[in-house]
C-alpha cells in the first residue's frame, strides 16, 4: 500500500507558534520508498508519537520545498534520525539552493551524514528509489520555493506548497490528487500565500480525483476548513477534503 500521512496541517506563524495545528510536515510512502516532505517544528515528535509509530530510520530521503521555519525547523534532527545519529550514512536531501547558502537552514555538519544533497531547480526532475518527482515552476514566495509533482504507481500527486497566486499556476499541477497549502481565507494584498478562492480556481480548472486543503493559517482555521472543503466539493462536484493532523490517505484507492 502507498500512502501519505499528514503530520501537520498548520501553516504560517501564529497557528504554528501556538501549535493550534501540528506543523510536522508529510510522510510519503510510495511503493516502499519513504520520503519526508517539509519537516517543520515537531516533525520528529510527530513521527515518534504517530500510531503506528513512524521510524525516521526508515526514510530514504527528505524534501524541503523552501527554507521558511514552519517547513524546515526539524530538518537537521530528521537527518540525524534518518541516519541513526549520523552513524549510518544514507539518504538524499532535496532542497532549494538558498536553504544551503547564506544563513543555511541545513547545517554543515549534518550534510556529511547523507549520501547526497540535490539542489531543487525550476523544471527539475528527480528520482529516489521508486519515487520520481518534478519541480515544474518557481513559486512567488519571498524565498526560493518549489511545489512538487510526484509520480505514483497508479496516480500522480501534486503538492502546491506556499506561493502567491500567479497566472497559470494551476497549469503546472495537474495531479490526480492535488494538495494545496491554503493559508488564508481571503486574499490580501502583499501576502505571498494562497487563499481559499485561489484553491477553488486551481481545483475547478484541474478537476482532480481528490483535492486536499492543508497548511491552514488562523483565518482558515476559524472558518472551519472541513466545512469550507464540503462546500467546495458540492460547488465543484469533485471530492475536496480538509486535512487533519494525523490523517492518512491511501493512495491505492484514490
Query: Where does this chain bind Zn ion (CB under 5 A)?
Result: 68, 162
How many Cα neighbours within 13 Å face the side chain of 222? 8
For residue 2, the minimal CB distance to Zn ion (Å) is: 27
CB of 161 within 8 A of CB of 68? no
Task: Select 66 or 156, whichever has its Cβ closest to Zn ion.
Answer: 66
Adjacent-strand bridge partners of 93: 62, 117
For residue 217, the minimal CB distance to Zn ion (Å) is: 11
Q: What does the buried/exposed string (b/e) look like for 91-118 if buried means 16 or more CB atoms within 10 Å of the residue's CB?
A: bbbbbbebbbeeeebbeeebeebbeebb
For residue 68, the minimal CB distance to Zn ion (Å) is: 4
Task: Select 162 or 170, whichever has its Cβ closest to Zn ion.
Answer: 162
* Residue in the block written with cell 541516519: 83
Q: Which helix (H) or strand (E) holds 78?
A: helix 75-82
Task: Select 41 or 91, whichever has its Cβ closest to Zn ion.
Answer: 41
In the DSSP assignment, the letter for residue 141 is: S
For residue 207, the minimal CB distance to Zn ion (Å) is: 27
For residue 193, the minimal CB distance to Zn ion (Å) is: 8
Q: What does the buried/exposed string (b/e) look like for 236-249 if buried means 16 or more CB atoms within 10 Å of the residue's CB?
A: eebbbbbbebbeeb
Number of H helices, E strands in the chain: 8, 15
Residues 6+ apart with CB under 8 A from 219: 184, 185, 186
Task: Select 74 or 162, whichever has its Cβ closest to Zn ion.
Answer: 162
Residue 205: Cβ within 10 Å count: 12
For residue 129, the minimal CB distance to Zn ion (Å) is: 27
Q: Nearest CA to 146 among 156, 155, 133?
A: 133
For residue 164, the minimal CB distance to Zn ion (Å) is: 11
Amino acid at each position: 500500500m502507498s500512502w501519505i500521512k499528514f503530520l501537520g496541517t498548520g501553516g504560517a506563524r501564529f497557528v504554528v507558534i501556538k501549535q493550534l495545528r501540528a506543523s510536522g510536515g508529510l510522510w510519503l510512502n510510495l511503493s516502499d520508498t519513504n520520503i519526508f516532505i517539509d519537516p517543520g517544528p515537531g516533525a520528529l515528535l510527530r513521527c515518534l508519537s504517530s500510531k503506528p509509530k513512524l521510524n525516521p530510520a526508515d526514510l530514504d530521503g527528505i524534501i524541503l520545498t523552501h527554507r521558511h521555519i514552519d517547513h524546515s525547523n526539524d530538518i537537521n534532527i530528521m537527518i540525524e534520525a534518518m541516519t541513526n545519529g549520523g552513524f549510518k550514512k544514507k539518504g538524499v536531501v532535496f532542497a532549494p539552493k538558498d536553504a544551503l547558502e547564506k544563513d543555511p537552514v541545513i547545517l554543515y555538519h549534518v550534510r556529511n551524514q547523507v549520501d547526497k544533497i540535490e539542489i531543487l531547480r525550476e523544471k527539475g526532475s528527480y528520482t529516489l528509489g521508486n519515487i520520481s518527482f518534478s519541480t515544474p515552476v518557481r513559486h512567488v514566495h519571498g524565498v526560493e520555493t518549489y511545489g512538487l509533482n510526484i509520480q505514483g504507481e497508479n496516480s500522480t500527486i501534486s503538492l502546491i506548497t506556499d506561493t502567491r497566486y500567479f497566472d497559470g499556476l494551476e497549469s503546472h499541477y495537474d495531479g490526480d490528487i492535488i494538495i494545496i497549502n491554503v493559508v488564508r481565507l481571503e486574499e490580501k494584498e502583499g501576502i505571498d500565500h494562497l487563499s481559499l478562492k485561489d484553491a477553488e480556481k486551481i481545483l475547478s480548472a484541474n478537476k482532480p480525483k481528490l483535492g486536499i486543503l492543508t497548511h491552514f493559517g488562523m483565518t482558515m482555521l476559524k472558518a472551519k476548513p472541513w466545512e469550507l472543503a464540503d462546500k467546495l466539493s458540492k460547488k465543484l462536484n469533485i471530492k475536496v477534503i480538509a486535512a487533519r493532523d494525523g490523517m492518512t490517505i491511501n493512495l491505492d484507492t484514490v
